[in-house]
Structure 1
Amino acid sequence: MFLNFKAPIILSFLLMSSCSQFDSNPKQEQISDEEPITGKDFMIALYSGNLHFNEDCIIVRPKGEKGIQLAILGNEVISEVTNNSLVYQGKKYTEGDYIQVSGGGVGDSVAFKKEHNLNECSGLEIFIPN
């Protein structure tokens, strides 16, 4: 009976001693001189569909859907972009190829397109590959 009484006391002590207060992290400061990408954004782990090139627009369109516009912002994720092909993660894709792109979307596409000088592309939402 005595051992059963000690266990709750020891557990209570361990629980109280393991609780501590954490200081909140101060706001992270920008350490780069480059202009940050701004806008309301949302994350999508993976977007897939067929690749289409329309004038200066690169579009990924799942069957039966409107699709999204890929934003090429100078990063090295997508390279060797031409009128009908691109290289994504070391693999070449051409018009009509099925592609899966990881990255995130931008909530306010109109402002983002203006800020980054992107074409309108039929009002499609913007997707930034990573």
Structure 2
Amino acid sequence: MNPLGLNASRFLVALDAQGTLSACGQLEPKPSAVKVEFQELRTLIVAKSARGQGLGTSVMKALVERAGSVPIFLTTLRKTIPFYARAGFQEIPLSQAPRALWFEAAAGTVVARLAANDQLVVLCNQPRFSS
């Protein structure tokens, strides 16, 4: 989870039968002077005990529906591409990502390499941004 830009009012949550938080996700709108240009998937987390049950996929689908036709971008580890690809996301070159994501992607690249021994990638759910 990226701790930057957290806003409880934007969270979509999934609770188990006992009312315990099992999964959550958040889209952050990125407005221009006129409209929301894109949304960034800032958070998608599934509790370890709830993984493999389709909750992450359900939350992702609901977030994509919530965004409508507005493109969604995210930065993530390369190893998570298959999960996001099932939801229609494709890797794009950083040069095609909105400039608002460039600093985060650059900083995240260092963290991904050091903390996870992985590469950070930018994904988008709109084919026009795909390479």
TM range, normalised to the smaller chain?
A: under 0.3
Q: Which has the higher strand share?
A: 1
TM-score calculated relative to the size of structure 2:
0.26
Which structure's relative contact order is higher, taking Cα pairs within 8 Å and 6+ residues apart?
1
Larger Rg over CA atoms: 1
TM-score calculated relative to the size of structure 1:
0.26
